[in-house]
């Protein structure tokens, strides 16, 4: 297996504006690809599973590097690296589930080079940012020669490495609504070793009032062809007093809802069994962060 060298030749451009990048993708035909940190795409090129004739780097486009709060949203440019999001999360604790996810994503090299947009554009069912962004009701912004559009992340993932983004569309940013007070969030993943892709992951955002779960959102990674919003449990938990036995039932419902497969990292049976337990752990953490008793 070739994991060290790039054998194929390709053109390389590093435009400074969206307009230039869109012109380049139009001029260079169907084998042209955008590249950000390259931590997914270069691995695929070394493995020779993809062979772009032209790479268009997005890393010099300043619009894709925005990272700020504006008009009720946190705006994260698609080319913002994990390092920058980690530094932001150390100062701004509004999105603890995202912060948890970034802390366990890859190691130094990947966090220095890899971007949040690249993670969502590769669209692995195990993408670690996806469950956290889903529970925060995030949106993605896309631009092409046809114009700009905004999609709910929940509507963006279509299948394994398939999304609603067209090949000539650039993801410009992710927008996360400001969380309401009394919402706690958490994310956790299980992996074979520290720097590995998840065997299974879970994110929870829960709003509490005393011991009552006002509302919650739950999403899981590596349990379906897409990062999965869990549908049944939020309705089940809504306006109920949270108890240990309630969470055991909710965990069982999750194990029943997910449709994992067996692959190189884990078996479908293991994923189903562990999903409920993982959910309970992550829910408890989010609940505690929302000010509830552990």
Ligand X SMILES: Cc1cc2nc3c(=O)[nH]c(=O)nc-3n(C[C@H](O)[C@H](O)[C@H](O)COP(=O)(O)OP(=O)(O)OC[C@H]3O[C@@H](n4cnc5c(N)ncnc54)[C@H](O)[C@@H]3O)c2cc1C
Which residues bind to ligand X, rule: CB under 6 A? 33-41, 43, 58, 78-79, 105-106, 110, 113-115, 117-119, 121-122, 127-128, 170-171, 195, 197
| Nearer of residues 110 and 214 to ligand X, judged by Cβ | 110
Smallest gap from Cβ 156 to ligand X, in A, equals: 12
Which residue, 170 or 233, is less far from ligand X as judged by CB?
170
Smaller CB distance to ligand X: residue 266 or 284? 266
**Phi and psi angles of residue 47, each rounded to the nearest 5 degrees, phi first:** -80, -5
From CA 239, how far away is CA 274, in angstroms rounded?
26
Which lies closer to ligand X via its Cβ, residue 128 or residue 207? 128
Minimum distance of ligand X from residue 150's CB (angstroms): 14
Residue 107 CA to residue 200 CA, distance in Å, equals 18
Q: Tell me which residue has its CB nearest to ligand X.
A: 118
Residues, the chain: 294
Q: How far is the CB of 290 from ligand X (least distance, A)?
A: 26
Kindly state the smallest distance separating residue 268's Cβ from ligand X, in Å: 20
Q: Which residue lies nearer to ligand X by CB, 35 or 134?
A: 35
Q: Give 197-221 as a 3 state SS string.
A: CEEEEEEEEEEEECCEEEEEEEEEE
The structure tokens 């337990």 sit at 277
End-to-end C-alpha distance for the chain, whole angstroms:
48
How would you classify the pairing of strands 54-57 and 32-35? parallel
CB of 212 to ligand X, least distance (A): 34
């Amino acid at each position: 297996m070739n994991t060290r060298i790039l054998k194929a030749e390709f053109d390389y451009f590093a435009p400074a504006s969206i307009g230039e990048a869109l012109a380049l993708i139009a001029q260079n035909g169907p084998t042209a690809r955008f590249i950000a940190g390259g931590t997914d795409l270069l691995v695929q090129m070394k493995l020779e599973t993809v062979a772009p004739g032209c790479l268009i780097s997005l890393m010099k486009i300043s619009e894709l590097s925005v990272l700020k709060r504006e008009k009720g949203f946190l705006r994260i440019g698609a080319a913002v690296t994990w390092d920058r999001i980690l530094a932001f999360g150390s100062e701004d604790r509004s999105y603890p589930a995202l912060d948890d996810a970034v802390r366990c994503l890859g190691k130094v090299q990947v966090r220095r080079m890899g971007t949040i947009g690249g993670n969502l554009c590769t669209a692995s069912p195990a993408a670690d940012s996806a469950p956290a962004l889903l529970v925060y009701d995030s949106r993605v912004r896309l631009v092409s020669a046809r114009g700009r559009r905004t999609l709910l992340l929940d509507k963006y993932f279509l299948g394994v490495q398939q999304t609603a983004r067209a090949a000539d569309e650039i993801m410009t940013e992710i927008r996360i609504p400001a969380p309401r007070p009394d919402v706690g969030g958490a994310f956790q993943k299980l992996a074979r070793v520290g720097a590995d892709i998840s065997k299974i992951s879970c994110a929870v955002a829960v709003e509490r009032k005393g011991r009552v779960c006002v509302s919650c959102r739950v999403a899981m990674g590596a349990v379906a062809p897409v990062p999965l919003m869990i549908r049944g449990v939020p309705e089940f938990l809504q306006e109920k007093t949270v108890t240990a036995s309630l969470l055991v039932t909710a965990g069982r419902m999750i194990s029943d809802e997910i449709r994992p497969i067996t692959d190189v990292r884990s078996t479908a049976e293991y994923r189903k069994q562990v999903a409920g337990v993982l959910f309970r752990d992550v829910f408890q953490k989010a609940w505690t962060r929302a000010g509830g008793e552990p």
